[in-house]
Amino acid sequence: MMSGKRVLVIDDEKAIQTVIQFGIKLTSGWQVLIASSGAEGIQTAQTEKPDVILLDVRLPDMDGTDIVKALQAHAATKDIPVIFLTAQAQTIEKPQLSDLGVRGMILKPFNSLHLPEQISRILHWSMGGCK
């Protein structure tokens, strides 16, 4: 995919992974990379260097904030924008997001067909004709 974006999804729920992958590919043609744990996500981000990371706040092996800190500690991943996926918006305050360097938050449940639009809005990307 020459002009397509690459999205890394770090989420341990297979159903969420599948829905995100389907919605993003169908509506934007972007490539979706999947990681099921924080450790796998950090490794994948370092090797694949995606354009954006969609990160579940709560994973079995690591907390989302710890994953963001680990990503920011590496030269290869420190500039990759991170968007939190969460069902617990009330536990994360906007100043906390900014302090972490997280670019935004998408609340679960979400409509996977609208994800490329939401990501583009948060990151100020042009959708390039995708709707």
Residues 75-98: tens digit of each pLDDT: 999 999 999 998 866 556 666 777
Q: Is residue 1 part of a domain?
A: no
Strand pairing partners for 31?
A: 6
Report pLDDT for 130: 43
Q: Is residue 89 part of a domain?
A: yes
Q: Is residue 106 part of a domain?
A: yes
Report pLDDT for 91: 59
Q: Is residue 130 part of a domain?
A: no
Q: Is residue 108 part of a domain?
A: yes
Report pLDDT for 2: 37
Report pLDDT for 21: 96
Report pLDDT for 95: 67
Closest C-alpha among 118, 108, 107, 114 to residue 81: 118
Q: What is the CATH number of the domain that holds 34?
A: 3.40.50.2300
Residues of the chain with pLDDT under 50: 1-2, 129-131
pTM for the model stands at: 0.90
Q: Is residue 129 part of a domain?
A: no
Report pLDDT for 31: 96
Report pLDDT for 97: 74
Residue type, 54: L
Report pLDDT for 89: 60
Distance (Å) of CA 66 to CA 58, 108, 111, 121: 10, 20, 27, 25
Number of domains in the chain: 1
Report pLDDT for 101: 87
Angle between helices 14-28 and 115-123 (to 10 degrees): 80
Report pLDDT for 129: 44
Please give the residue range of the domain that contains residue 28: 6-123
